[in-house]
């Protein structure tokens, strides 16, 4: 089961394959204000209960801090042939799985396509991609980068990831700006298409 607190700042639209969640289920939101502007946005939420939104908003604020840290410290990523991203924040237990090996991830560690990011109960990570997409991975999470391609001249590309469990916060970059359909986040039960600039996804077993 996954929960999504997300949207486009202008229209509040987040595309989700399938129908809207049933009334009372925490999963789909439409809002007019930023989710970071405080409790006043709660009256604009659809299909959610008050306390569920409070809990999700708090989680989003925490993850957002990691993304802001990434943004303020962002610098060009070394143009190694296979590198697609770099850890800007790595706290607690954070690992990178590649080629059957699990390696400790630290600030400055580079990611490649098909890598998997794993965090422990005390772990969290902020990752900056070459197209300026920013991802924040919460505790007890497993995020697999399934496909990544980016043309720095045309800004065309593809960004597909799979959140097997845990929490993921995303600020989309040039790939999604050029073609929103090119960025997708899979969960065990659905595929989320990006229709806004930022969103939060939580997936549980």
Higher-pLDDT residue of 95 and 41 is 95
Average pLDDT across the chain, whole number: 71
Percent of the chain beyond pLDDT 90?
Answer: 49
| Count of C-beta atoms within a 10 Å radius of residue 137 | 28
pLDDT band at 67 (very low <50, low <70, confident <90, very high): low
pLDDT band at 66 (very low <50, low <70, confident <90, very high): low
Query: Each residue of 111-145: pLDDT tens digit?
Result: 999 999 999 999 999 999 999 999 999 999 999 99
Query: Each residue of 80-99: pLDDT tens digit?
Result: 458 999 999 999 999 999 99
173-200: average pLDDT? 85
Query: What residues does each domain of the chain span?
Result: 2-203
Nearest to 185 by CA among 140, 112, 136: 136
**According to the model, what pLDDT value does residue 184 have?**
92
Residues sharing a CB contact under 8 Å with residue 201, sequence separation 6 or more, in sequence order = 2, 3, 4, 6, 163, 167, 168, 169, 170, 185, 187, 192
pTM: 0.65
pLDDT band at 23 (very low <50, low <70, confident <90, very high): very low
**According to the model, what pLDDT value does residue 151 have?**
94
């Amino acid at each position: 089961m996954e929960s999504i607190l997300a949207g486009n700042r202008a229209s509040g639209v987040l595309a989700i394959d399938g129908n809207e969640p049933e009334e009372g289920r925490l999963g789909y939101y439409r809002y007019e204000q930023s989710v970071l502007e405080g409790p006043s946005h709660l009256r604009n939420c659809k299909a959610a209960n008050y306390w569920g939104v409070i809990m999700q908003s708090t989680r989003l604020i925490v993850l957002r801090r990691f993304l802001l840290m990434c943004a303020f410290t962002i610098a060009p990523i070394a143009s190694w042939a296979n590198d697609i991203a770099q850890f800007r924040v790595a706290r607690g237990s954070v690992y990178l799985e590649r080629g059957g090996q699990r390696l400790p991830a630290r600030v400055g560690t580079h990611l490649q396509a098909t890598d998997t990011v794993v965090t422990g109960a005390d772990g969290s990570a902020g990752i900056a991609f070459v197209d300026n997409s920013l991802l924040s991975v919460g505790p007890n999470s497993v995020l697999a980068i399934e496909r990544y391609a980016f043309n720095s001249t045309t800004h065309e590309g593809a960004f597909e990831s799979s959140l097997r469990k845990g929490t993921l916060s995303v600020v989309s970059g040039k790939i999604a700006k050029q073609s929103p359909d090119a960025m997708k986040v899979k969960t065990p039960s659905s595929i989320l298409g990006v229709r806004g600039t930022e969103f939060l996804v939580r997936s549980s077993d």
